[in-house]
Every structure is written in C-alpha cells, then in structure tokens.
C-alpha cells in the first residue's frame, strides 16, 4: 500500500483485533493530544487516522478537531492524495458549519459557537454512526482553548487536535498536554539533514517551562517585547516585535529576563547575545511554535550562558516518519527511524509498517 492511500473496505479499529503500537496506551494518560506535521505530506493525517482507529472508546470519551482543515481526499496545495478522516460511532468532533453540512455520517448536533471563522461558526457534534468528515475547527489560540474547555461539559476524557506549525496559524498545538510529531522525506530528502532538522525541532519542543510566577504574569501579554527586572518588575520596551530594526538594549543592567510575545528570530537573539548585560539572560517565548531561529544562533546563545524557556509546552510522546516524498523519493525507513531515535531518544514509528523501528 502506498503512503497516503486509503485502504479498501471498512476502517479497522480495536474491535477488529488490530494491535496498537505502545504510544496509543500512553496517549490515554493525558487529557489532550496534538498531532503535528513538520511539513505537508509528512504523514500527520495518516497518524491522526491511525490514532482514531485504535483508541479504546469503551474506556475514553474522545473529541477531535483541527486547527487547519483535515480530511480532504486531495491536498489543496500539493494536489497529492490524502487519507480521509473516519470517525467512529460515539466520537465528538468540532468543525466549521460548511464542512459539517458536507459530513458523511449521522450525527447529533451538540453546540454551535458564537465565534465565526472564514468557513462559518464552529459546530460541535457527536457521531451516531461511523463515517467521514472534514475537520476545520477553531483557528485562533483563544478560541481553541475555549473549545477544549467546553468539552468538559460533555465529560470528554481526551481532546485530539490536528495541529499546525504554519506561521499562518495563530492557534498553537502547544495548548495540548501531549503531542505526536510527524516528519519525513517531504521535510528533507537528505536523510542526515532530515534527522538534524527534526532533532532541533524536538529540542525546541522540550524547552523548559518558565517559572510559574512568570508564566502567570506573562500569559495575558500577547504582543510586544518586555523586560523583567531583578525584582520581577515588568517593563514594556515599546517594541512591537523582535523583528523591529530599531530595537535597543540600553540600561539593561537589572534585566533578569526578556519576554517576546511574538516570533523569536535570529537577529533579536544575536543582539541579545552580543550585549554584555544580556549574555546570560533568559528569553521567554509563548511556546516552541513562536521560535524561528537557526540551530547555529541557538547554540551560540546557549554557549554564552543564555537560556530560552516557554509559557506552555506539551509532552512529546512519539515521532512518526513518512519516508516517501510527494515527488516519489523514498528514504530507507529503518535507517531513518534508527538514526532519528538515536538523536532524539524517543520512540520513532513508521506507521505503515505498523511496528516500532528496530
């Protein structure tokens, strides 16, 4: 079976005796999960499909939504075939009004949000039969958090988010408690480069949380660059983003930390590193999706004594690989899995082989 193809016949699930990989059991330890692809065609949808087929619904009440759009048969950018999303009876889901009308299952309407997206309001429903659906849920971080919180009203045990790392998305997958990362040949056709690039993203995902008091103080601040002094006082540096060319760091002798509410970029990190008062400071960002820096600048900053922390993070429980690129280039799956596992010290799976990489 080719990567991304849809198996014929009915969708397998736990009731069919399909043996699930170990990370399925670990997912059950958390209340929320994001599945995030490093690039299109790295197997994110295949991973979501795998998880939805194998979760034990007799043990957990599950709800699923998407930051972007998932479930199309053809990718709207690359025009490649995509596996469709099949929901099982009893699963809750959140999608736009437009895609709710296009569903191919019988469902019970639960809620219609007051918030409007480009595809209409977000509809929450429960599947009464197994069937296919396009997922296009909350598009901002705030609305995603509200939707997840609303799921508690329906005694949902596990919320699954089809995530996105795109700069175009304001909703972060880091709002979830756990995460699965999908990587593959579409991210880089060179095996060693792919391992290095994926390992760096994993390192960013695993950055430590900032101190609790700082997290509570900084979480409401969604714009600007801020300084925290040695007495934990907060000061607005009157800079909209770290991209600003005219940002200056004079009089920073009492700086204990800098908070960048938006994107953290190389030029900002370099300015901080070259300032004698800031070499060993802490930079706080909202989460790893806001970090757009090169491994080189990151290493130089850390080597100089600096530190980067986050306000929110997820527990990365596994990485999946798609060794085939949309252009047809195929990497050695076992070699890729083994090298990646050695680099990140996490379980790595090729889901189409349905076994851990040896």
Q: What is the pLDDT of residues 244-271, one digit of tens each?
A: 766 777 778 889 999 999 999 999 999 9
pLDDT at 249: 72
pLDDT at 330: 95
Mean local confidence (pLDDT), 120-131: 96
d(CA 165, CA 67): 10
User: Using 50, 70 and 90 to split pLDDT, how confident is the model at 291?
Assistant: very high
Mean local confidence (pLDDT), 58-81: 69
d(CA 55, CA 331): 29
Helices (H), the chain: 22-27, 44-54, 97-101, 141-150, 191-205, 212-218, 266-274, 295-303, 333-344
Is the per-residue pLDDT at 352 higher than 80? Answer: yes
pLDDT at 332: 96
Fold of 14-206+314-356: Rossmann fold (3.40.50)
pLDDT at 151: 94
Is the per-residue pLDDT at 81 higher than 50? Answer: no
Mean local confidence (pLDDT), 152-173: 81
Is the per-residue pLDDT at 17 higher than 50? Answer: no
pLDDT at 7: 33
Lowest mean pLDDT among 43-52, 170-179, 227-236: 170-179
Q: Where in the chain is the domain with CATH 3.40.50?
A: 14-206+314-356
Residues above pLDDT 70, as percent of the chain:
87
Is the per-residue pLDDT at 356 higher than 70? Answer: no
pLDDT at 170: 63
Of the two residues 298 and 352, the one the predictor is more confident about is 298
d(CA 161, CA 172): 10
Is the per-residue pLDDT at 18 higher than 80? Answer: no
Q: Are 323 and 351 in contact (CB under 8 A)?
A: no
| Residue 169: partners with Cβ closer than 8 Å, 6 or more residues away | 67, 68, 139
User: Using 50, 70 and 90 to split pLDDT, how confident is the model at 47?
Assistant: very high
What SS3 class is residue 235?
A: strand
Lowest mean pLDDT among 88-92, 166-170, 198-202, 228-232: 166-170
């Amino acid at each position: 079976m080719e990567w991304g193809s849809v198996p014929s016949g009915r969708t397998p699930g736990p009731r069919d005796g399909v043996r699930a990989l170990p990370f399925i059991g670990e997912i059950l330890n958390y209340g929320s999960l994001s599945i995030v692809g490093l690039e299109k065609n790295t197997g994110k949808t295949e991973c979501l499909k795998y998880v939805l087929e194998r979760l034990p619904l007799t043990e957990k009440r599950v709800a699923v939504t998407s930051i972007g759009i998932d479930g199309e048969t053809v990718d709207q950018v690359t025009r490649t075939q995509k596996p469709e999303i099949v929901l099982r009876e009893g699963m809750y889901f959140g999608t736009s009004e437009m895609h709710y009308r296009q569903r191919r299952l019988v469902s019970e309407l639960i809620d219609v949000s007051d918030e409007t997206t480009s595809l209409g309001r977000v509809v929450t429903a429960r599947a009464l039969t197994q069937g296919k659906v396009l997922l296009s849920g909350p598009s901002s971080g705030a609305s995603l958090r509200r939707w997840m919180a609303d799921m508690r009203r329906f005694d949902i045990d596990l919320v699954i988010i089809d995530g996105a790392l795109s700069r175009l998305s304001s909703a972060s997958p880091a709002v979830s408690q756990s995460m699965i990362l999908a990587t593959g040949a579409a991210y880089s056709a060179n095996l060693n480069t792919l391992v290095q690039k994926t390992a760096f993203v994993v390192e960013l995902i695993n950055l430590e949380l900032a101190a609790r008091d700082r997290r509570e103080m900084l979480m409401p601040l969604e714009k600007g660059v801020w300084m925290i002094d040695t007495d934990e006082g907060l000061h607005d540096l009157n800079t909209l983003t770290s991209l600003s060319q005219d940002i200056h760091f004079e009089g920073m002798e009492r700086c204990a930390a800098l908070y960048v509410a938006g994107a953290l970029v190389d030029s900002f990190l370099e300015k901080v590193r070259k300032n004698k008062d800031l070499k060993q400071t802490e930079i706080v960002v909202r989460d790893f999706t806001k970090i757009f820096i090169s491994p080189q600048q990151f290493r130089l900053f850390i080597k100089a004594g600096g530190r980067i922390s986050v306000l929110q993070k997820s527990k990365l429980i596994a990485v999946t690989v798609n060794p085939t690129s949309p252009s047809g280039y195929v990497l050695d799956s076992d070699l890729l899995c083994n090298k990646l596992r050695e680099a990140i010290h996490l379980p790595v799976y090729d889901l189409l082989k349905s076994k851990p990489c040896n």
